[in-house]
């Protein structure tokens, strides 16, 4: 969800696809995506962000914060942002946490008697990023330490990505494996958002490819088919490549 300083409000539409009503609770927190030592994506949350972190969690309010959505119904939630006076230009982040309590899940292995009935209430948490922009903002990303590792029928691709300028980098990672003749043999495309620094790991399928030399071409571009182009900040593409040999 992108909100600018001129409007200071936005909306989120919630939909309940389940056969039972859903009880919804909405809260905010500060967090951003990171990668762990294995290159997996995770969300790092900071309970009490200091002034060095661009948190908007305390300024974003949802109306209503509690609601019930009937089966197969939709409801719009309004987001209102009240930033502090004198806020410097830049992009500020929050996470919108939507907790839905709905159906019930029976627990197996419990004796079927009139005296014992055990079931769990299902709670599903959805975490949505919120970006608040004030004044001119720009983004970019630095790509370094591109490396590969051959694992059975795949090639693992690692890189170090560091955000530049004043806003999160939102774009797409593309990896292409080409043989010695330049023919494309395997491809990968995945959305990415770089808030600070991360080292993601991806895997390209290479099962059935002949042994020999290949080139791995890797790029980040600010193209996102799932987002409105009006909110995606443009930046120059960054590219690198590395040679590898399949056994």
Mean pLDDT estimate for the chain: 91
Quick one: pLDDT at residue 114? 42
The confidence score (pLDDT) of residue 107 equals 40
The architecture that CATH gives domain 139-246 is Sandwich (2.60)
Same topology for domains 2-134 and 139-246, yes or no? yes
What is the residue extent of each domain of the chain?
2-134, 139-246
pTM: 0.88
Question: What's the confidence (pLDDT) of residue 13?
Answer: 92
Look at the block and give the residue holding tokens 């959505």: 69
Let me know if 132 is exposed, middle or buried by CB neighbors in 10 A (0-12, 13-18, 19+): buried
Of all helices (H) and strands (E), which one includes residue 165? strand 154-165
pLDDT in tens, 81-129: 999 999 999 999 999 999 988 754 444 434 443 444 444 456 788 899 9
The topology (CATH level 3) of 2-134 is Immunoglobulin-like (2.60.40)
Specify the range with the lowest mean pLDDT, choosing from 27-36, 93-102, 129-138, 186-195.
93-102
User: Alpha-carbon distance 53 to 91, whole Å?
Assistant: 11
29-67 confidence digits (pLDDT tens): 999 999 999 999 999 999 999 989 999 999 999 999 999
Residues 184/190/193/197 CA torsion (nearest 10 deg)? -60
pLDDT of residue 121: 56
């Amino acid at each position: 969800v992108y909100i600018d300083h001129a409007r200071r409000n936005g909306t989120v539409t919630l939909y309940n696809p389940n056969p039972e009503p859903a009880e919804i609770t909405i809260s905010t927190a500060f967090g951003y995506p990171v990668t762990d030592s294995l290159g997996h994506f995770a969300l790092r949350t900071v309970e009490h962000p200091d002034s060095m972190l661009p948190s908007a969690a305390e300024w974003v309010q949802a109306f209503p914060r509690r609601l019930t959505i009937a089966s197969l119904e939709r409801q719009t939630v309004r987001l209102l942002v009240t930033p502090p006076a004198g806020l410097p230009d830049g992009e500020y982040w929050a996470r919108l946490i939507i907790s839905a309590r709905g159906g019930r899940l029976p627990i197996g292995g419990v004796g079927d008697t009139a005296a014992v009935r055990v079931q769990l209430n299902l709670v599903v948490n959805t975490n949505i990023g919120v970006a608040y922009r004030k004044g001119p903002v720009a983004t970019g990303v630095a790509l370094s330490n591109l490396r590969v590792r051959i694992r059975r029928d795949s090639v693992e691709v690692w890189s170090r990505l560091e955000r530049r300028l004043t806003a999160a980098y939102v774009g797409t990672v593309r990896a292409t494996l080409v043989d010695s003749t330049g023919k494309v043999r395997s491809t990968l495309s995945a959305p990415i958002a770089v808030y600070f620094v991360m080292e993601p790991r991806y895997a390209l399928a290479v099962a059935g490819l002949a042994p020999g030399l290949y080139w791995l071409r890797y790029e980040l571009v600010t193209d996102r088919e799932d987002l409105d182009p009006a909110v995606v900040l443009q930046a120059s593409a960054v590219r690198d490549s590395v040679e590898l040999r399949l056994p």
